[in-house]
Homo-oligomer: A and B are copies of this chain.
Amino acid sequence: MQPPLARLSVHTITTKPWSLRQCVDGYRAAGVAGITVWRQALQPQGVDESRRMLADSGLTVTALCRGGFFVAPDDAGRQAALDDNRRAIDEARAIGAPMVVLVCGARPEVPIADGRRQVAEAIAAIAPHARAAGVRLAIEPLHPMYADTRSAITTLRQARLLCAALGDANVGVAVDVYHVWWDPDLEAEIAALGAERRLFALHLCDWIPEPRHLLNDRGLPGEGCARPRRIRALCESAGFAGFNEIEIFSDRRWAMDQGDNLRDTVAAYLASG
């Protein structure tokens, strides 16, 4: 039997007030096995020092968050996004992250159907660079409440079909409990993702009823009504054997002592196992 935290990874955004150094030290001390690094956590010390810090830590780097934001009203904006995503892939490779998570992007001034086409074209454009770098791309469909400014890709089905159309085994899907728990096709889509070998990542958190803020009022697993335990079981039944990544945006929790935040997070993970 694996030790209980052997598959737990924590996103640095979960303890956003901490530097990468503090995340690494804090996660190790708490017995967490993996870390998903947000790009903003790389910036202060740069990629090289981050790479050394992570390599020395013994933590498994599970992913780099996040690429994407491909949608733009003009060619220059779209080109800048491609360039930035290629840099993200290089950063992932440098720090030993096997995958870049893609938040695909949306813009209010771009009709959503056009946004979807832009996303498909952009992923096709960066996919060869990702393959060459040995870095996988994980499309994360976002909750439809972010279809205005964050993601024209709002369902697992859309993400899965996008992968199928692309036909690149190096591109798959990240299932985030917060974004998909409401989906009537959830069971069928997770099963299909497993069967098609597209289930690349699982992000755990919870939906606190009637959130006070659209973005930053997410809960620990077990605090809400998204039933992360069930979604994790669906993923495991579909063959998922990767890390359970905890990713929680919460103004409330970011205002706490981050040691306490992390302790609660690990306890919630163990309780919701």
> A residues near B, CB below 8 A?
108-109, 111-112, 116, 143-145, 147-149, 154-155, 157-158, 181-184, 207, 209-211, 214, 224-225, 227, 230
| A27 shortest CB reach to chain B, Å | 30
| A163 shortest CB reach to chain B, Å | 15
In angstroms, Cα B272 to Cα A190, docked, is: 40
Q: Cβ of A207: which chain B residues have Cβ within 8 Å of it?
A: 148
**19 CB-based A-B contacts, threshold 8 Å:** A108-B224, A108-B225, A112-B181, A112-B182, A112-B225, A116-B184, A143-B144, A144-B182, A145-B145, A145-B214, A147-B181, A147-B182, A148-B207, A148-B209, A148-B224, A148-B225, A149-B210, A154-B182, A154-B184
Structural contact, A214 and B225, CB atoms closer than 8 A:
no
In angstroms, Cα B143 to Cα A147, docked, is: 12
Q: Top 6 closest A-B pairs, CB basis?
A: A147-B182, A108-B225, A144-B182, A148-B209, A108-B209, A145-B145
In angstroms, Cα B145 to Cα A148, docked, is: 14
In angstroms, Cα B144 to Cα A181, docked, is: 9
Structural contact, A210 and B148, CB atoms closer than 8 A:
yes
Structural contact, B149 and A209, CB atoms closer than 8 A:
yes
Given A210-B149, A225-B109, residue A155 in contact with residue B143 (CB < 8 A): no
* A184 contact from B158, B211, B230, Cβ within 8 A: B158
Most chain B CB within 10 A, of A116, A145, A154, is at: A145
| A231 shortest CB reach to chain B, Å | 11
* A183 contact from B144, B145, B149, B209, Cβ within 8 A: B144
Q: Cβ of A143: which chain B residues have Cβ within 8 Å of it?
A: 144-145
Q: Cβ of A111: which chain B residues have Cβ within 8 Å of it?
A: 227, 230
Q: In the complex, which residue of chain B has the Cβ closest to the Cβ of A215?
A: B210
Q: Cβ of A214: which chain B residues have Cβ within 8 Å of it?
A: 145, 210-211, 214
Most chain B CB within 10 A, of A109, A158, A183, is at: A183
In angstroms, Cα B230 to Cα A3, docked, is: 54
Q: In the complex, which residue of chain B has the Cβ closest to the Cβ of A109?
A: B225
